[in-house]
A and B are shown apart, each in its own frame.
Chain A
Amino acid sequence: MALQTLNRSRILVAPIRTGLRFRWLSRRNLALIIPAGLLLFIIAACYCGPALFHLGPPSDGNLANANLPMWTKSHWLGTDPLGNDILTRCLFGGRASFEIGFGAVGLGFIVGSSVGLTAGFFGGKVEIVIMRTLDVLLAFPALILAMAVAAYLGPSIFTLIAAISFFTVPTYARITRAQVLRNRGREYVIVARIMGGRPWYIAFRHVYPNVLPTLLTFAPLGIGVTMLVEAALSFLGVGIRPPEPSWGNMIAQAQAQLSQHPSDVIIPGVFLLVTITCLNLVGEQIRIRWAK
């Protein structure tokens, strides 16, 4: 009898295990895997693509090749009015977008979370001063701020990162503070205090690691927003300036000829749209799964 059940269970187990093999491909997981994979592919294409396919520099086109249509040999996506290959420009432009996106979120994250941690953990007058300053920053129209800073400091990736960080710092500071307030009264903090830990030590070595995972779940969405801002600034001519390529300034340069050469506008637009959609989808999934 026992043997029989064992056998039967073996027979039953087999089909279940073949089912198990692809369980990681469930609908829920695919919702994360597909956009994340596409995003990694775009990033890899931007950084490795030009070297792999021997694409030349983005802005030394030959005027003889101006305005080639899509699917031309060696210019798959055509060329712009200056004869530059559009695919090359899109890939190089993507680098700038990603660097600014990650840079501004990183900077905002580091500064914002330190400020938020200080405000949330120490409370009192420090907190009031910090929160009022953040109120001012939040009330200040951020795009205007970024435009002004970027316009006056001159065009460079670092300037743009600094300018766009005005968006990200207050947001991360507020989120961090809210998370720290939830942790401040927890047992481990009290124990650390009783053990004689200095406030700064407790704040950065005990509380910070505990709020960090939740904060990180906000990062992909932040990168998406930042890249949108970068594109808008470059489109307006205060971000990355031609001949240096960027998705935003490519669209700005091509918009005058929208009726004759629509693909010059549509292609960088699609790059922008797909990248930010992927970032948002990944961000949403990460928030659903790992945010506390």
Chain B
Amino acid sequence: MQVIFGLVWRRILQLIPVCIGVTLMAFLLLNVLPGGSAIAILGTNATGGSIKALDNALGLNKPAYERYLLWLWHALHGNLGVSFITRQSVTSTIFARFPVSLELVVLSILIALCTAIPAAVFSARRPGGIVDWITRAVGMFGLSTPGFVLALYLLYVLSVRLGVLPVTGFTPLSVGLWANLKTMLLPALSQSAILFGSYSRILRGDMIDQLYSEDYVLTARAKGLGSLRVLFVHVFKNSLFSLITIVGAQLGTLIGGAAVIETLFGLPGVGQLLLISITDIDVPVVQGIVVIVALIVVVMNLVTDIAYMLLDPRVKYGTADT
């Protein structure tokens, strides 16, 4: 346990330079690139005087490093600044939209896991069999289909033709679980296809490796355990590592990458906010989202590593991962 704590501590220390790097990069990217915020707000025919006045009001007249340090100082206190457009606090704007994105991501991961795990286990049972073939074909299509294309196909079939689900729009969770799920199901389904592809392929590969190379499989079979029991209990448990890694690694990027699906379905999530803010050159909001998503990615990587160590005491972490 002591080893784990030491390691976690070291990993947390390692996070600091990464976090500084991410914020610095977000800042540079948004401040160095052409197209000033003042011009974006006032329109292209603004006069020099009014641009200067707005720059003063927004604090854009200070040197870049000073603005960065000031921003960092406020960010450390949980204040990510004020939106240029709506004049509202960035922190509260993002956190008001965060639950929607989180629900979308968690729902799509759940759908993908619930389908990919049985599919992969039965594929590993008979590699090359019919279940395996179907799983691999579906997985390949999942990996190759852009989420928005699948979303529109599903929309056409389920909503336009069959009228089973509502087309777009969002019902918050507070209205009712079923009403909310009805609007979230299609977006989650279209996002989960690509996840199904990666989860089922990784789990299948690992399980087949374990089945053919590990002695404990032989022991369990020799004890007379049924093949399904060996598969689901023993092999499955030992094949989870790569799956956990990929679920953890994708959680953060999914929240950032949900912009397409959220825009398509009109879900008021972080991704939609991001797209709006990028087109409006609303620098503080974009910066805030980037930092929060990056933090989630970094923290999820850490959590995955810890989960690894707790699951398999044989895994020893030295300096190998640097």
**Residues of A at under 8 Å CB distance from B?**
128, 131-133, 135-145, 147-149, 151-153, 224, 228, 231-232, 235-238, 248, 251, 255, 258-259, 262, 265-266, 269, 272-273, 276-277, 279-281, 284
- Chain B residues in 8 Å Cβ range of A136: 18, 21-22, 25
Q: How far is the CA of A273 from the CA of B150 in the complex (A)?
A: 9
Contacts A151-B279, A232-B148, A272-B146 given; indicate if A144 touches B33 (C-beta within 8 A). Answer: no
B50 at the interface (CB under 8 A from A): no
Which 9 pairs from chain A and chain B are nearest by CB?
A: A141-B256, A136-B21, A277-B144, A269-B149, A276-B144, A152-B33, A141-B293, A259-B160, A143-B257
Contact (Cβ within 8 A) A147 B259:
yes
Of all chain B residues, the one with the shortest Cβ separation from A224 is B144
Residues of B within 8 A of A (CB): 17-18, 21-22, 25-26, 29-30, 33-35, 140-141, 143-149, 152-153, 155-156, 160, 252-253, 256-257, 259-260, 263-264, 274-275, 278-279, 281, 286, 289-290, 293-294, 297-298, 322
Residue in chain B with minimal CB distance to A153: B33
Q: Across the two chains, which residue of chain B brings its CB closest to A281? A: B140
How far, in whole Å, are A142 and B281 apart by their CA atoms in the complex? 18
Residue of B nearest to A142 (CB): B253
Instruction: Tell me the smallest distance from the CB of B233 to a CB of chain A, in Å.
Output: 30
Q: A277 to chain B: which residues have CB within 8 Å?
A: 140-141, 144
Contact between B149 and A251, CB atoms less than 8 A apart = yes
Least CB distance from B308 to A in Å reads 18
Assembled-state Cα–Cα distance A247/B152 (Å): 14
What is the bound-complex CA distance between A137 and B35, given in angstroms? 23
A273 with B29, Cβ < 8 A, contacts A136-B21, A141-B256, A258-B155 known:
no
Q: With A133-B21, A148-B29, A259-B160 given, is the CB distance from A143 to B34 under 8 Å?
A: no
Q: Which residues of B contact A152 (CB under 8 A)?
A: 33-35, 281
Residue of B30, B146, B289, B322 ringed by the most chain A CB atoms within 10 A? B146
Nearest-CB residue, chain B, relative to A235: B148
A138's nearest neighbour on chain B, judged by CB, is: B297
Tell me if A's interface is mostly helix, strand, loop or mixed: helix
What separation, in Å, do the CA atoms of A168 and B207 have in the docked complex? 29
**CB contacts between A and B, total, < 8 Å:** 126
Residues from chain B with Cβ under 8 Å of A133 in the complex: 21
Which residues of B lie under 8 Å from residue A255 when comparing CB positions? 152, 264
* C-alpha spacing A136/B256, complex, angstroms: 15
- A272 CA to B145 CA, complexed, in Å: 8
**If the complex has contacts A232-B148, A258-B156, are A132 and B17 also in contact, measured as CB distance less than 8 A?**
yes
Contact with B153, one of A144, A151, A228, A269 (Cβ below 8 angstroms): A269
Cβ–Cβ < 8 Å partners of B148 in chain A: 231-232, 235, 251
Residue in contact with B278 in the complex, picked from A148, A258, A266, A280, CB distance below 8 Å: A148
List 12 other contacts, CB 8 Å, given A236-B263, A280-B144.
A140-B25, A141-B290, A141-B293, A148-B33, A151-B279, A235-B148, A236-B260, A238-B279, A248-B146, A259-B160, A269-B153, A281-B140
Chain A positions within 8 Å of B146 at CB level? 228, 231-232, 235, 248, 272-273, 276
Contact of B257 among A137, A141, A224, A251 (CB under 8 A): A141
User: Are B260 and A258 in touch, CB under 8 angstroms?
Assistant: no
Q: List, sorted by A's number, 19 A–B pairs whose CB atoms are closer than 8 Å.
A: A135-B21, A136-B21, A136-B22, A140-B26, A141-B257, A147-B259, A147-B278, A151-B279, A232-B148, A232-B260, A237-B279, A251-B149, A255-B152, A258-B156, A262-B160, A273-B141, A273-B146, A273-B149, A280-B144
User: Would B160 and A238 count as touching, CB distance under 8 A?
Assistant: no
Note all chain B residues with C-beta closer than 8 A to A149.
Answer: 29, 33
Of the listed residues A135, A148, A255, the one surrounded by the most CB atoms of chain B closer than 10 A to its CB is A148
- Complex-state Cα separation, A132 to B253, whole angstroms: 19
B275: chain A residues within 8 A (beta carbon):
147, 236, 238
The CA-CA distance from A280 to B198 in the complex, in Å, is 12
B252: chain A residues within 8 A (beta carbon): 141
Interface centre among A138, A139, A266, A276 (most CB of B within 10 A): A139
Question: Please, which residue of chain A has its CB at the minimum distance from the CB of B293?
Answer: A141
Q: A132-B21, A152-B33, A236-B260 are in contact. Are A140 and B140 (CB under 8 A)?
A: no
Q: Is the CB of B294 within 8 A of A140?
A: yes
Q: Are B140 and A144 in contact (CB under 8 A)?
A: no
Which residue of chain A has its CB nearest to the CB of B24? A136
In angstroms, how far is the closest chain A Cβ from the Cβ of B16?
11
B22 touches A144 (CB 8 A): no
Give bound CA distance, A280 to B136, whole Å.
Answer: 12
Max chain B C-beta neighbours (<10 A), residue from A131, A141, A265, A269 = A141
Report the minimal beta-carbon distance from B11 to chain A, rounded to whole angstroms: 12
Cα(A133)–Cα(B281), bound, Å: 26
A138 to chain B, nearest CB (A): 8
CB of B156 within 8 A of CB of A140, answer no
Check B294 against A265 for contact (C-beta < 8 Å): no
**What residues of chain B lie closer than 8 Å to A132, measured between beta carbons?**
17-18, 21
CB pair B293–A144 under 8 Å, yes or no, is yes
Taking the closest CB of chain A, its distance from the CB of B13, in whole angstroms, is 13
> How many Å from the CB of A147 to the closest CB on chain B?
6
B252 to chain A, nearest CB (A): 7
Distance A269 CA – B147 CA, assembled complex (angstroms): 11
Name the one of A128, A140, A231 contacting B290, with C-beta atoms under 8 angstroms.
A140
B313 to chain A, nearest CB (A): 26
Residue of A nearest to B278 (CB): A151
Complexed CA–CA distance, A237 and B278 (Å)? 11
Known contacts: A136-B21, A269-B152. The answer to whether A143 contacts B144 by CB under 8 A is: no
The answer to whether residues A139 and B297 also contact, given A132-B18, A149-B29, A152-B34 and a CB cut-off of 8 A, is yes
